[in-house]
Structure 1
Amino acid sequence: MTTPDQPLRIASIGAGHWGVHVASQVLGDERATLVALADVSAESRERAGGALAVPPEMRFEDAETILESVDLDAVIVTTPHVFHHEHVSAAMDRDLHVYCEKPFTTDVDDARDLVQRAEARPEVTMVGFQRHHEQPYIAARERVQTATPMLITAEITQDWYENFRNTWRGNPDLSGGGQLYDTGSHLVDVVLWLADATPTSVSAEMVFADDDERVDVHALLAVRFDNGAVANLTVSGDTACVREHVHVWTDEGATYIDGRGWDERTLHDVDPENTTSTPLLDETDTRGKVEAFLDAIGNGESPAATVRHGFYVTAVVEAAYESARNDGVRVPIHLDD
């Protein structure tokens, strides 16, 4: 159990902008304390160390050193995507609780490996898909659980390429791809979660920013599920602003989630007579990522966003890239583990 008298000792592996954003959530929770950080960039270590009140002697250049030399209970992994498997695996080797930012991994076999290991150990391993503990999405899932979702349409837009083209997120050797693997992985995750069925195949078209077709800026996915349901997803990284729409249709009507920016989301219900209502939600049930992570550790329960959710997203995204690079041919999704 985590208590104020014995708070969890947490280190952040990754101290860039997003690493600071996630790790800062530890500072406001009496159940944990941030004791160390690691980043290959000296500038990032200094900036993050100051922002997170981590003393200079507890700022490390690499993950291996921090794991070997610091007494820890848990780690937060926010390094570039391609390093997630290495850093999560190393933390598992030391029996630590692990929070890993999305995407879980950029390789299906790596994701499968971590799923097998995570599900065989008592420590918590959580993936950073925060929609699993945000109230509009929780309420939407509760509604569609009473019927079988048969059609899902989903879209997310963002001025991603302009903002990140010259950062590691725009470098496929570090990010694993483009907008689909970055912000788009959230949309893939929530569609799979709301569908509550096994994805079996995907066809995709993409607009790439590079001749090697590795960095997508627009992606259109058509996913099929084992229960006959279908989902159409649009992920755009070259639009003026952030908007998100997720519409789930069942034989009883529909549930809509519409929003703009990163925080404003509204839930709508559509009944069979085409009447729309907007239910009031108790937003106090929405939790932050670190709060949800610490809740899972403290309660000894599975986290809301599990390694299996992360594995499924990686499998769908990798199949979508394969399809897009082969003229949109439908590609089977293999989830056997």
Structure 2
Amino acid sequence: MRAVRRRARRGDLACAEHHRGPHDPRDRASHRRRGRDVAGRRRRLPRLPGDGKPRADAAARARAAVRPRRAPHVAAERRVSRVRLGAIGAGWWATSNHFPIFQAREDVELVGVCGLGDDVFAVRDRFGFGMATHDIDELLDAGLDAVVITTPHDLHYPAVVAALDRGLHVLCEKPMTLHAGQAWDLARRAETAGVHLLVPYGWNYKPFTVAAKRLLDEGAIGEIQYALCHMASPTRGLFGGDPTHMLERWESATAPQQSTWASPAHGGGYAHGQVTHSSALLFWLTGLRARTVAGRTAHAGSAVDLFDAAVVRFDNGALASLSGAATLADGDPYQVDIRLFGSDGVLMIDVERERVRLSRYDGGHEELVIPPGEGEYECLVPPARFIDLITGAHTDNNSTADVAARSVELIEALLRSSADDGREVRIHD
């Protein structure tokens, strides 16, 4: 990611996804182009005789049974043409990313914002919210359809519960919670209420990751047997207690709160702050769930973890190595490297080098063509998709509560393992 990332302007409809609509061909397989072999010939994946579909073995079909649940069906009578939206939290990320996107949409009414101190009234005026309050209940009882929650990590759970209990759709920032029990409780509550709960993991909505997931769903590499999942970012200051460099990086007038990102008491640290991204991408792509985790963290002088490493065993028996580092140089692009080794081939996703490559053991190869700059992190699509889910304009939630809960339980187990001298933690049987 470059030192200054491309930001949404208020004059734009802040998300290209919203401009194009849910059925634009750029969101489908047109992003995928056939690669060539070493001789320059185009290679196509073998297909089964007569069915016209890419080969998928029994193991790949069985894997579908444990995939994260799709977003709950929302009855047509619950869909609305204009979403009455409230916001709980009005800090750095909400004001620099989410609120400009919602403000630019004609199908969103910004009903109210809840926050601490007098700043919330300035936020109300800046973005055109109808009201500002310090009282969560006052906001949630204001006739909302949905709410966006961007409070500190440790305050997510009670706010989401309060919203779901009122039957509201929820966009909750990551990590969804700090504890697995709470995360799975939110997933169950959202499903029972029949509402959307979206956690805005930006990479889950990139066209090249959507295309990669399609390959996996088609069984392109068979059953996953080993995974590598690595992430690194220039965030030493954020987690080390000096977040001011983020002002330039995100063109924001408000700095991130040190207590949110650099305090152990509030869920600060690289695992909850960044590894949550790479692990949620992994779980959405594969449908796997961690069974055991043995991990270590290192602080390098910080109060919270700056480096993370873990060995993970998944529910299907597959093994994984997971790692994260907060100390890339400012201006360096983010590293997100996911390599999946299956019974029929290997799929590589490299965000930094902007490439996705499939290599099959039967000789078939495929490389996705990714436009320059597409690998940069941005979170423009998830807030727009949240609104589209509510109005019925789109049906795909790529970062459900189920996916987020799988990430939470892995990270909680990693931190518990590290605190216990790296001993293996069993998540579930």
Band of TM-score, shorter chain = 0.7 to 0.9
Moved more, 45-54 or 248-257: 45-54
Q: Secondary structure of the residue that 1:215 maps to in structure 2? A: coil
Q: Secondary structure of the residue that 2:397 maps to in structure 1? A: coil
Look up the match of 2:58: none
Q: What count of residue pairs does the alignment treat as equivalent?
A: 323
CA drift of 1:266 comes to 3.0
CA drift of 1:143 comes to 1.5
Unaligned 5+ residue runs, structure 1?
Answer: none
Q: Deviations over 1:62-100 (max 9, x none)?
A: 4233223x2211100111111111110111122111111
Look up the match of 2:223: 148
Q: Distance in 1 between matches of 2:239 and 2:110?
A: 28
CA contact (8 A) 1:153 1:231 kept: yes
Letter in structure 1 aligned against 2:278? L
| Ranges of 4+ aligned residues in structure 1 off by more than 6 Å | 273-276
CA contact (8 A) 1:223 1:230 kept: yes
CA drift of 1:195 comes to 2.9
Q: Deviations over 1:112-157 (max 9, x none)?
A: 2212211111222222223332212111112123121222112111
Look up the match of 2:86: 11
CA drift of 1:237 comes to 1.1
2:289 to 198, 212, 220: 198
Q: Distance in 2 between matches of 1:84 and 1:59?
A: 19
More strand by share: 1
Look up the match of 1:226: 315
Look up the match of 2:171: 99
1:294 aligns with 2:363: no
Q: Distance in 2 between matches of 1:287 and 1:298?
A: 18
Look up the match of 2:156: 84
Look up the match of 2:276: 185
CA drift of 1:200 comes to 0.7
1:207 to 288, 293, 298: 298
Q: Deviations over 1:33-66 (max 9, x none)?
A: 22221111423x24533442335xx122242332
Mapping 1:270-281, distance limit 5 Å: 270-272=359-361, 277-280=366-369
Larger Rg: 2
* TM, length-normalised to structure 1: 0.86
Moved more, 162-171 or 151-160: 162-171
1:30 to 80, 86, 106: 106
1:236 to 325, 334, 341: 325
CA contact (8 A) 1:2 1:8 kept: no
Q: CA RMSD in A?
A: 2.8
CA contact (8 A) 1:154 1:234 kept: yes
Look up the match of 1:259: 351
CA drift of 1:106 comes to 0.6
CA drift of 1:276 comes to 6.4
Structure 1 pair 277–123 and aligned structure 2 pair: CA distance change class (3 A)? closer
CA drift of 1:164 comes to 4.0
Q: Secondary structure of the residue that 2:192 maps to in structure 1? A: coil
CA contact (8 A) 1:254 1:269 kept: yes
Q: Deviations over 1:146-198 (max 9, x none)?
A: 12122211211112231343312111222x14110011101111122233223
Look up the match of 2:240: 165
CA drift of 1:209 comes to 5.1
Letter in structure 1 aligned against 2:176? F
Structure 1 pair 144–6 and aligned structure 2 pair: CA distance change class (3 A)? closer
Q: Deviations over 1:227-261 (max 9, x none)?
A: 2211111111122132221111223322222123x
Moved more, 179-188 or 135-144: 135-144
CA contact (8 A) 1:16 1:48 kept: no
Moved more, 245-254 or 314-323: 245-254
Identical residues among aligned pairs (%): 25
CA drift of 1:302 comes to 6.7
1:316 aligns with 2:407: no
Q: Secondary structure of the residue that 2:357 maps to in structure 1? A: strand
1:250 to 336, 342, 361: 342
Q: Distance in 2 between matches of 1:251 and 1:113?
A: 34
1:124 aligns with 2:199: no
Structure 1 pair 8–180 and aligned structure 2 pair: CA distance change class (3 A)? same
CA drift of 1:22 comes to 1.4
Q: Distance in 2 between matches of 1:161 and 1:42?
A: 30
